[in-house]
Amino acid sequence: METWQAILLGLIQGLTEFLPISSSGHLELGRVLLGIDGEQNLTFTVALHGATVLSTIAALWREVWKILRGLFAWRWNWETEYVVKIVISMIPVAIVGFLFKEQLEVLFTGNLLLVGVMLLLTAFLLMLTNRPVKMARIHHQPTYATAFVMGIAQAVAVLPGLSRSGSTIATGILMGLDRPNAARFSFLMVLPPIIGMNLLEILTGDLSTAMYTTLPFWAGVLTAFASGYLACRWMLSLVRRGRLVWFAIYCALVGVIAIVAAFFNA
């Protein structure tokens, strides 16, 4: 992989991780268009996700610090309850990660048809968020049930083309969580799983020294961090104003293009 290719993939990852248009799907499209070998796709993808985790912490450092400070007060409070909900949201993705890791790796091989179909599903979920919700149903903090269902959405969103942020934010909104808090919980709930995946890659040796000492690797990671920080702040503002329909239209268009391209490449 050339340095400019890694930078381009890092930019794609950073921007699309927080925008509800599927970072994994766009990375797969980018690799296919750039003709990049898919041998270490999943490992590099995990590293780029790790960079966007750091950008999440940087963008939401006040919220992260408040939660950690309340957690280490060692008493049952709002922050402790919030962390418990994040842990509950991790259960589905942990099950998928431990039991189906090898099956998931097969999906990250430039399968444009799968990416296209999942992008259309992302568009459908985003369109559903435009449905009016009765004020009596809206709550400002995730319930335990909402956290678990958002966790299921996050687990299913490991499929390339199905947006993690789009799926989880849409799920939270459909379950009655207000838009800003749905986005905030969506961004915070991804921190432990991605950090865990990066640690697992390092401990198991999958993230080899030969890979993480190369210039393209760090160029991609740093680009993902910088672009991810900007995208996270922008997305929080967009969700607050309720402008997700444009992302739905975009996902639908790219999904159709990916499906058509898949048939031409068959």
pLDDT of the residue at 133: 58
User: How far, in Å, are 22, 32, 107, 165 from residue 158 at the CA level?
Assistant: 10, 19, 10, 11
| Crossing angle between the packed helical segments 78-99 and 191-204, to the nearest 10 degrees | 40
Spell out the SS3 assignment of 146-184.
HHHHHHHHHHHCCCCCCCHHHHHHHHHHHCCECHHHHHH
pLDDT for residue 204: 63
Give the predicted TM-score (pTM) of the model.
Answer: 0.80
pLDDT tens sequence across 16-40: 878 887 777 777 777 777 777 655 5
Rounded CA separation 74/97 (Å):
30
**What does residue 107 show for φ and ψ, rounded to 5 degrees?**
-75, -20
Q: Which of 131-140, 214-223, 238-247, 254-263 has the lowest mean pLDDT?
A: 131-140
Q: pLDDT above 90 covers what percent of the chain?
A: 32
Question: Which letter does DSSP use for residue 139 in this model?
Answer: B
pLDDT attached to residue 266? 64
CB 122 within 8 Å of CB 260: no
Length of the chain: 266
pLDDT band at 106 (very low <50, low <70, confident <90, very high): low
Q: What is the per-residue pLDDT for 26?
A: 78
pLDDT tens, position by position, 124-181: 999 988 776 555 467 788 999 999 999 999 999 888 888 888 899 999 998 889 888 9
